Structure 1
Amino acid sequence: MPRPTSSAKRRIAIGLCLTLLAAHAVQAGKLYRWTDKSGVTHYGDRAPASAPPSEVKVIPFRAEPGSIARLRVQQDGDRYLAWADNTLSGPIEVRLDFTHSNNIIGSPLLPASATVAARSSAVVSVLSAQDPTRGGDFELSMRSVPGDPDARAQNADYLLPLQQQQFRIDQGYGGHFSHTEPEHRYAVDFAAEIGTPVLAARDGTVMQVETDFDKAGLNLEKFGDRANFVRIVHDDGSMALYAHLKADDGVIVRVGQRVRAGQQIGLSGNTGFSTGPHLHFAVQVNRGMRLESIPFRMTGPQGPLRLSSGTR
């Protein structure tokens, strides 16, 4: 199943330097390291204008795919603003905490949570020295989860998310193979040949997509959080997940696009932790820094579906 959360870290030494420990982005990135005239080594995500290129070392890094949010620390006089940048076209919740703190306090106190609107940023905490007469340092970590924790899902009808008359449910609610965790307990796996059109089951906005994976397998450590998927947020704040989509061209919608029920959004496939070609469908909500799947009603070509494990 796709990764439901993401995390980021940054370390700051007040009065000395800014050190980037880890930065999450959708693709690979670069860090830059240089030493100033005072002998202090600096790290940053941009090359400094003051240092000669020969003195700047470029350190490539591989960022975590499909990051939900980025942690950004901005100096503001003698304090630091800890920002959360939401990369998704839907709301997210973040939680900021210290992994190390020396003479630093946050306002609000850490750990602190915040809800960040689609494609926007929010200051989660303002950090400053407890004793202004001496220096300090700190390291931050931030977790992020899609969805607004205050959203309340409405009782809605969902359409079959596949363009086919004959279908089979290989794993339904509470399936023992991979539907035991809260975020997938009420998921349904529809058997579908690779390339079967995947349809939006309900009106909404494309919140998040992942298209970078081309492999599948039963190694949970290797494939457990890897799959191509589309996440659509509905007007009530609930989110539909369409996962294991085809490699390369399995997603045909863009982030931020408004879609209608029955509109094609992709092609079914066999990517990630999977026993074979199928579509994994779930309706999820954020219950306060954790995703949970919820039961839903669905209608197919022959009427209402029974969604318990292994039945149609």
Structure 2
Amino acid sequence: MKKIFSIFLLFFCLLIFSQKKWDLRFYNELVGSEYVIYADNTEVMPMSVKFSFKMINLKSSIPNDEIIVIPADTKRFLVAKITPVNPRDGNQFSYTNTYNFGNVVQKDFEEDYIYSLPFTNGKTHLIFQGYNGKFSHQKDAALDFDLKIGDPVYAAREGTVVLTEDSNLQGCPKISCAKFNNKVLIMHNDGTFADYAHLKYKGVAVKKGDEIKKGQLIGYSGNTGFSSGPHLHFSVFINRIDGSRTFIKTKFKTSQGDGIFLEEGKSYTKND
């Protein structure tokens, strides 16, 4: 009997960070009687993807909904092989996928890393919203520093810039304005990410792919996006495939000492 391979490739992309499209491509090749699915990831960070298959007379080398982590800057990464069950019968398959940036199955990270305060050395700033804050940090381990528009922002930890945005002018105290956040996103060497948000228009001083040192200038504070007033939003997290985040409480070096957890309503002086 003549073999029939009907392929229906359906893609669903989970869009994060103002509907950012990541530079990730999936494609398949017919090798003998099986199809091989490959991925090209030209991002500077790993990307994670979950596949769901519908198959007739075919089997996949990976089970449905298994999460595959594709390394950064990788081409022709083998995702799966689709093989006929009975080579004499017709077959077809389709799949959907969901993907997100980072290693979403990661569990471990460097718990005792000491971060640098993300503002000018010698300056003192207030934490006006802390972990699990009532305005926009409910269930989030994030910090809001009372920086003014134009105040310099420095990297709290070394890493690689994976995303920048500074084309937005708007800001308002509603979640609908979150899409206007100007920001810098940095990946650390333990796989976690730091988000520096609400930067001013044209207020980013680095570019994607830059290797950043701790204490390096990365941008200027502002009042864009989901914001009730000028400030710097800072958080560290591990991404998950569904778009949620596992937030990490971070220890800082301050004039009071090393390894300090910052608290809402208190002021801290940078003394590096």
Partner of 1:232: helix, strand, or coil?
Answer: strand
- 8 Å Cα contact 1:151/1:238 also seen in 2: no
Decide which of 252, 260, 282 is 2:235's aligned counterpart. Answer: 282
RMSD: 3.1
The residue that corresponds to 2:177 in the other structure is 223
Instruction: State the 1:163 CA deviation.
Output: 2.2
1:203 aligned partner = 158
- Aligned counterpart, 1:127: 82
**Cα pair 2:10 2:95 within 8 Å, conserved:** no
| Residue identity in the other structure for 1:156 | Y
Unaligned runs of 5+ in 2: 268-272
Matched to 1:246, the amino acid is: K
Q: 2:124 aligns with which of 156, 166, 177?
A: 166
Aligned residues: 256
Cα pair 2:115 2:253 within 8 Å, conserved: yes
Q: Is the 8 A contact 2:129 2:144 kept in 1?
A: yes
Pairing 1:299–2:224 present: no
* Aligned residue number for residue 225 of structure 2: 272
1:119/1:151 CA distance change after superposition, 3 Å:
farther
- Please point out which of 130, 138, 141 is paired with 1:180: 138
Give yes or no for contact 2:147–2:232 (8 Å, CA) kept in 1: yes
Residue matched to 2:197: 243
State the identity %: 32
CA contact (8 A) 1:96 1:142 kept: yes
Deviation at 1:128? 3.8
Q: Secondary structure at the match of 1:153?
A: coil
Q: Which amino acid aligns with 1:91?
A: P
Shift, 1:310, TM fit: 3.2
Aligned to 2:28: 74
Any conservation in 2 of the 1:240–1:281 contact (CA below 8 Å)? yes
Q: Secondary structure at the match of 1:136?
A: strand
Is the CA contact 1:129–1:136 (under 8 Å) kept in the aligned structure 2?
no
Matches of 1:88 and 1:209, distance apart in 2: 13
Q: Deviation string for 1:28-86 (max 9, x for gaps)?
A: xxxxxxxxxxxxxxxxxxxxxxxxxxxxxxxxxxxx74334534122223433333443
Give, in whole Å, the separation in 2 of the partners of 1:123 and 1:213.
38
AA of the residue aligned to 1:140: T
CA contact (8 A) 2:35 2:82 kept: yes
CA distance in 1 between partners of 2:56 and 2:25 (Å): 20
TM-superposed deviation, 1:166: 3.2
Separation in structure 2 between the aligned mates of residue 229 and residue 261 of structure 1, nearest angstrom:
17
Q: 1:226 to 1:257 in 2, by over 3 A?
A: same
What residue ranges of structure 1 are gaps of 5+ in the alignment? 1-13, 27-63
Alpha-carbon contact 1:172-1:311 (below 8 Å) kept = no
The one of 87, 97, 103 aligned to 2:52: 97
Contact 1:153 1:285 (8 Å CA) reproduced: no
Report whether the alignment pairs 1:254 with 2:207: yes
Residue by residue, what CA displacement relative to the aligned partner does 1:247-292 show, whole Å, maximum 9, x if unpaired? 2x22221222111111101111222222122111112235787531
Q: TM-score, normalised by structure 1?
A: 0.70
Q: 2:233 is paired with a residue of what secondary structure?
A: strand
Residue equivalent to 1:144: 100
Deviation at 1:88, TM superposition (A): 3.1
Residues 212-254 of structure 1, C-alpha deviation per residue, up to 9 Å, x if partnerless?
433222332x33455222222222223222112222x222212
